[in-house]
Amino acid sequence: MAEHEHDHDHDHAHDDHGHSHGGHGGHSSHGGHGHSHGVAADADRRWLVSALALIVVFMAGEVLVGFAASSLALISDAAHMLTDAASIVLALIAMRLAARPARGGYTYGLKRAEILSAQANGITLLVLSAWLGYEAITRLISPPEVTGSLVLITALVGIVVNIAAAWCMSKANRSSLNVEGAFQHVLTDLYAFIATAVAGAVVLTTGFRRADAIASLIVVALMLKAGIGLVRDSGRIFLEAAPAGIDPDAVADRLVTSPQVEEIHDLHIWEITSGQPALSAHILVTPGGDCHAVRRELQRQLREDYRITHATLQVDHVGEDSSQELLQISHSPASAAAAAAAAAADHCADSHGPVHRSGPHEH
């Protein structure tokens, strides 16, 4: 087959277009990647600062009342509110870092500072739940005197404060794992105050002192649930796992059925930060096929069907860099598959992940 050149086209725009670079034997392109969070970053910061002010003011008073009433439930709530405040401060710092443009060695910028913040929030919840769980079990065994009226009144005020703080944070962009981490702190604290109010009422009306420790254990269970979720979700992003709800094999199996596509391999799907999925893949098309048309069609499918707008696709013809024999492909499926496999081996001697072709195949 005669040698041929590939046009160099540079369609560089956002949302609907990508920019492609025809190169030596291949066509690599990035899909458009405009990322919208729905709520402006400045608005997010204002809502977070409002929630922070409410939490800090109430927390200071709760510490004093907790010691005065000898209530572990109130002290644990105050400790949790301290982590609420810390999580919001971390979120604000991370938002500012993530907004910095990419430069130098940080080719994605500092977007994962938000994920670091979310993971720190999750770890603090887990550590705090371990300490409070130990204290609660100790008080179940030997319950101290608890002033039920102070516990009840403070918890009721805490419910109002946390509802207000949670409302403020719900106005921020919760699709960000960073903001969601801080929100989970506040929401857990709201549930904790409800449990504490019930415990205070029980102590006040029945004198059952262990109700305070039982309420603390309920708080611990909620903290564990939120902490495990944050650590798991942030860990998936750091380990560059595919976003939840997206099966890479299913994506590849769908894309490989597109016209002119013979094979897809080296497919990777990950998240740059929460809500910003990215994809890269090596695509082999039929000899003489239109690489640019194939690339545009695949990017359209990724954008519309999977909401993946940051896609880097290397598109080559089958056997383009192989020996002359590999280019003499017969029309039989068996020989076409063999040629595709040989071409893939030539292109990617150390490919990662399964090879996807039309028709039944192993993953």
Low-confidence stretches of the chain (pLDDT < 70) are 1-43, 73, 174-175, 320-352, 359-363
Write down the CATH number for the domain with range 41-238.
1.20.1510.10
DSSP for 121-170, written as a single string: HHHHHHHHHHHHHHHHHHHHHSPPP--HHHHHHHHHHHHHHHHHHHHHHH
Residue 334 is predicted with a pLDDT of 52
pLDDT at 329: 39
Can you give the pLDDT at residue 335?
Answer: 52
CATH annotation of 242-357: 3.30.300.90
CA dist list (Å): 47 to 94, 167, 179, 319: 15, 9, 11, 56
Contact 151, 72 (CB under 8 A): no
- The values of phi and psi at residue 317, to 5°, are -80, 150
Q: Which helix (H) or strand (E) holds 116?
A: helix 113-141
- Domains 41-238 and 242-357 are alike in CATH topology: no
pTM of the model: 0.70
Taking the C-alpha atoms of residue 84 and residue 139, their distance in angstroms, rounded to an integer, is: 25
Q: Residue 155 half-sphere exposure, CB side, CA atoms within 13 Å? A: 29
C-alpha atoms less than 13 angstroms from C-alpha of 197 in its C-beta half-sphere: 14
d(CA 178, CA 114): 5
Residue-wise pLDDT tens digits, 113-147 = 888 888 988 898 899 889 889 988 998 898 888 77
**pLDDT at res. 269:** 96
Provide the pLDDT for residue 1. 42
Both structure tokens of 91: 């979120």
Cα 63 from Cα 77, distance rounded (Å): 9
Do 310 and 33 touch, CB atoms closer than 8 A?
yes
Domain range annotation of the chain: 41-238, 242-357
Q: Which residues pair with 314 in a beta bridge?
A: 28, 282
Tokens describing residue 87 = 């999580």
